[in-house]
Amino acid sequence: MLTRRDFLGTSLASLGAASLLAPRDLLALRPVAPRKILILGGTGFVGPYDVRRALERGHQVTIFNRGRSAPGMFGKDVEELAGDRAGDLSILKGRRWDVVIDESASLASAPEWVKNAAGVLRDQVDQYLFISTRSVYQDLSRVPMTKDAPVLTLENSPVAAGTPLPYGHAKAYAEKEALAAMPGRVTIVRPGLIVGPEDDTDRFTYWPVRIARGGDVLVPGDGSDHVQVIDVRDLANFCIRLAEDRTYGIFNGVGPQGGQPFRAVVEQIHRAVGGTGTYTWVDADFLRANGANPYGRELPMFQVMRGRTAGFARFDITPELAAGLTVRPMGETARDTLAWFRTLPAERQAAIKTGFTPERERELLAKWRAR
Ligand SMILES: NC(=O)c1ccc[n+]([C@@H]2O[C@H](COP(=O)([O-])OP(=O)(O)OC[C@H]3O[C@@H](n4cnc5c(N)ncnc54)[C@H](OP(=O)(O)O)[C@@H]3O)[C@@H](O)[C@H]2O)c1
């Protein structure tokens, strides 16, 4: 445990250097009481960032998964426990951790997985940190959005009998299971689009890749629609901070405050990747009428800030910032994501999973100009 004297000592020793550092770097100077952290998952996209951040902060990490995706990923630094959330949690029994971070419950079975895991871990952990999603909100029309907006239920958004719970419903009910099993000891983080290096979905990556290519770039809307995403590294930093501070409650995982207009996002990416292109803003309704839907495969990350999605990327993140969320500049995320993408095999780069193909982009631009 860290004493008050240790804390003051660390703080004073850091003071000289601190004045030269950015607020985000100041966090690295926070003294930390080492925690025993169990991560359910840990070897996909987000989990490894949690693991690395926890190790960097001096915590002891155990991961629990089936050992299929990436066995031995962290070598001897991390304890690996093998089991299956669909049935076999026995290896977790009789152990003790300060906090469990649940990354891996995202399928229709999420409520059951959380119920079972929390049932086993209830008396073995102090804190259950559940990674949920912005998709739990039933009403995204509010401006600003906060965690108090209603979430999906089978009553407010019925699901046809016999069909599996959709993603948003599954996460919303999984949150309820955690809260019921460990009242007062649950932390819920609801991230928006999680982006950055190693994101295999390309939902953000398309933009730095496209902007770096230059030429005549189609950009959606009029530039005023907001974007609020989260860099995977900021999300991991936030989750580990919530564990260190034992902060309970519900938080959104998006940034920056209030979102930022698509035009500002494009400008930052342009500067960060050394863009040389020109930009043509194409009306969102025109794009929709031509088969390119907001948040669809061809228009990743873009959402229209009106009607049912007016608040989609306009969250007030005052409580999250107070709890320790830091948001790095979009340019940094873009530069690092592009650098990572360029390390991938040429065939993978050529097969980018989202955005317009060059032909489709040219065709839409020509049609827009000829209208
Ligand atoms: N990506 C986004 O934009 C976004 C946005 C909002 C929220 N989220 C949420 O963020 C979370 C992060 O997902 P991630 O995939 O990156 O997490 P992750 O923890 O890095 O990877 C998923 C882990 O689950 C394990 N796993 C899969 N099936 C399992 C089973 N039956 N039993 C035990 N372990 C199992 C996998 O290992 P094995 O295969 O070896 O078992 C892997 O370690 C998810 O909860 C997602 O809903 C994502």
Whole-structure pTM value? 0.93
pLDDT digit string, tens, across residues 152-209: 999 999 999 999 999 999 999 999 999 999 999 999 999 999 999 999 999 999 999 9
Tokens of 186: 């649950």
Res 31: pLDDT: 76
Indicate whether 313 belongs to any domain: no
**What are the tens digits of pLDDT across the range 45-83?**
999 999 999 999 999 999 999 999 999 999 999 999 999
Question: Span 82-105, mean pLDDT?
Answer: 97
The domain spanning residue 76 has which CATH number? 3.40.50.720
pLDDT in tens, 235-268: 999 999 999 999 999 999 999 999 999 999 999 9
Residue-wise pLDDT tens digits, 350-360: 999 999 999 99
In testing the pocket of ligand 1, which one of 66, 89, 100, 228 has its CB within 8 Å of the most ligand atoms? 66
On whether residue 82 sits in a domain, the answer given is: yes
Q: Tell me the chain's radius of gyration from C-alpha atoms.
A: 22
Measured CA to CA, the distance from residue 91 to residue 206 in angstroms comes to: 41
Residue closest via CA to ligand 1's atom 2 equals 194
At residue 205, the pLDDT reads 98
Q: What angle do CA 249, 122, 127 make, to 5 degrees?
A: 35
Residue 367 lies in a domain: no
Name the pLDDT band for 9 (thresholds 50, 70, 90): very low
Report the alpha-carbon distance of residue 220 to residue 12 in Å, rounded: 50
> Is residue 89 assigned to a domain?
yes
- Per the prediction, the chain carries an average pLDDT of 94
Shortest-distance Cα residue to atom 35 of ligand 1: 65
Place 21 in a pLDDT band, splitting at 50, 70 and 90. Answer: low
What is the residue range of 156's domain?
A: 28-191
Whether 65 maps to a domain, the answer reads yes
Ligand 1 atom index nearest CA of 102: 45
Position 172 in a domain: yes
pLDDT of residue 22: 58
In a domain, 62, yes or no: yes
Q: What distance in Å separates the CA atoms of residue 295 and residue 141, rounded to the nearest whole number?
A: 16
Q: How many CB atoms lie within 10 A of CB 344?
A: 14
Residue 2 CB less than 6 A away from ligand 1: no
Q: Identify the three-state secondary structure at position 156.
A: coil
Q: Is 43 in the pocket of ligand 1 (CB under 6 A)?
A: yes
Question: 278 CA to middle of ligand 1, Å?
Answer: 38
φ/ψ region of 356 (left if φ > 0, alpha if ψ in -120 to 50, else beta) reads beta
Task: State the total domains in the chain.
Answer: 1
Distance of CA 37 to the CA centre of its chain: 19
How far CA 118 is from CA of 96, 114, 159, in Å, comes to: 13, 6, 26
Dihedral of alpha carbons 180, 41, 296, 335, sign: positive
Q: Is residue 222 part of a domain?
A: no
Mean of the pLDDT values across residues 329-343? 98
Dmax of the chain from CA atoms?
71
Counting atoms of ligand 1 from 1, which one is nearest the CA of 47?
20
Query: Ligand 1 mean position to 131 CA, how many Å?
Result: 10
Minimum-distance ligand 1 atom for the alpha carbon of 253:
6
